[in-house]
Amino acid sequence: MFAALTLAAVTALTSLTAPVAAPARTGCGQYVALTFDDGPSYYRPRTLKVLRDKRVHATFFDNGVRVDANPRLPAFQVAEGHVQLSHTYLHPYLPELPAAAVVKEVRRTEEALASAGAPLTFKGVRPPYTVADPPTRATLTSLGYSIFAREDGEWIDATDWDPARTATEIRDAILAGLRPGALIGLHDGPIDTPAGAATVAAVPQIIDGARALGYCFGVVGADGRVMPDDYVPSARDIPLIGNPVPYLPLVYPGNAPGPHEFIRSPLRLEVGHFPAVFPAGGTGVFRVTLGSRGREGADGSVQAVSIELPAGLAPVKAAGQGWTCLGDRCTRNDVLAPHKAYPPIDFTVSVAPGVTGKLAATVNSQGHGGSWQSSEIEEVRVR
C-alpha cells in the first residue's frame, strides 16, 4: 500500500509508475464519490497512487495558489480521468468578500488550471469552509457555477482536517455515514493545518470497506449527483511535488509537511508605541497602521486588526479614523489603493501598578476572508 511507504522511499522516486490495475466493478446500483479539497498538497501523489491502484476516480476541489505551485499534478489528474473542480484561489471565507473579489477568486483559479493544462471538468466550486451565503451564491451562479457547499448534496465528512484524527477514526466515520449518492469530503493536505497523512492512509480502507458494503465509486456531476464511472489508467507517471506547497497560517499545532511556504498577505502592519516607556499604574498607546506592501491594495473585503496583550497590560479603548472598534479589535471594509495605508489605530492600554521590565504585545491583521494574515510583535519597557 503506497500510504505505508516511508517518506524516504517516496522522495527517492522521480515519479510513480503505473501499476497493473485490477478490473473495475460493473453493474452496481449504489454509487458514492470520493472528493478531496485544498490540493494539490504534499500528500497528493500518494493519494493518486492509491486511487490508481484501486481504480477509483475522485473529484478534486483544488486551490489555485497550490495549482500554480505544482501544476503537473492537476495536469495528471485530468489526464487520468479525475474530475477537476475549483476550491477558489486563496481559500477565503467567501461571505466576507465583496462580489468582485469572489469573481476574482474563481477567475484566478480558472486561469491557474488552464495554464496547468487542467481545465475545469465543468464549472463547479466548493466554497471554502463549505459556506456560501445568498450573495455569494448569486455571484457564483451568475458565473455559471454549480455550487457544492454543505447543504448541496449528500455530504459525509470526518473532520479529517484535524491532525488529531487517526486513519481508523476517519475510515469509521465515513463508512458509518455511507448512503447511495453520498459525496465523501476529504482533505489530503488541508491548506491551514498539518493534517493529511492519516487521510491518505484511510483512503484505501474507505474504498475497501465501502465495496464490502456493496457500494461502487463514481464521480460527481454538475447536478451534484454521483455518476457511474470506469477507471482506465493513463500511460503517465504520477508526478511528485516539485515546489514548496503554499499554506495559510496553521490553525492547529504542528508543522506543515514537506517543502512548504506560507502565503504572504499583500497588506503589512507597522506598529509603534508612545510614550517610549510606559509608566506603571498609568497608560500607554500602541499605534498600528495597516497598509499595502506594493502593487496590491485591499479589495473591499473585511479587514480586521486586533491586539493581544501580555499580563500587566489591559485594553482601555481603541480608535482610528474609519475604523469600527470593539474592545481590542477594529474592522473596516473599504477599498485601499496600492502603495497606500489606512489611517492608524490607537490601542490605549492601562499598565498595572508595580509592573516593571519589558513586555510584548502581538498585533494581528486578517483580511480577504481570512486568507490575508499578518502579525507583528511590539516590545515596550515599563517602569
Active site residues: 37, 187
CA atoms within 13 A on the CB side of 205: 18
- Write the DSSP symbol of residue 173: H
Contact 146, 120 (CB under 8 A): no
Q: How far apart (Å, rounded) are the C-alpha atoms in residues 181 and 32?
A: 5
Closest CA to 353 of 283, 281, 284: 281
User: 247 by DSSP, 3-state: which?
Assistant: strand
Cell of 233: 489508467
Report in angstroms the alpha-carbon separations of 119 from 32, 74, 164, 330, 376: 24, 9, 35, 40, 39
Q: How far apart (Å, rounded) are the C-alpha atoms in residues 133 and 96?
A: 10
Centre a 10 Å sphere on the Cβ of residue 164 and count the other Cβ atoms it contains: 11
Antiparallel, parallel or unpaired: β 357-367 and 303-308: antiparallel
User: 125 by DSSP, 3-state: which?
Assistant: strand
Cell of 358: 519589558
Most distant CA pair in the chain, distance: 79
Report in angstroms the alpha-carbon separations of 200 from 38, 110, 179, 281: 14, 26, 22, 55
Q: What is the dihedral of CA 160, 98, 148, 262, to 10 degrees?
A: -30
Cell of 156: 459525509
**Degrees to nearest 5, angle at CA 326 with 324 and 331:** 35
| Sequence-distant (≥ 6) Cβ neighbours of residue 356 within 8 angstroms | 280, 382, 383
Cell of 232: 482506465
Centre a 10 Å sphere on the Cβ of residue 27 and count the other Cβ atoms it contains: 6
Contact 348, 283 (CB under 8 A): yes
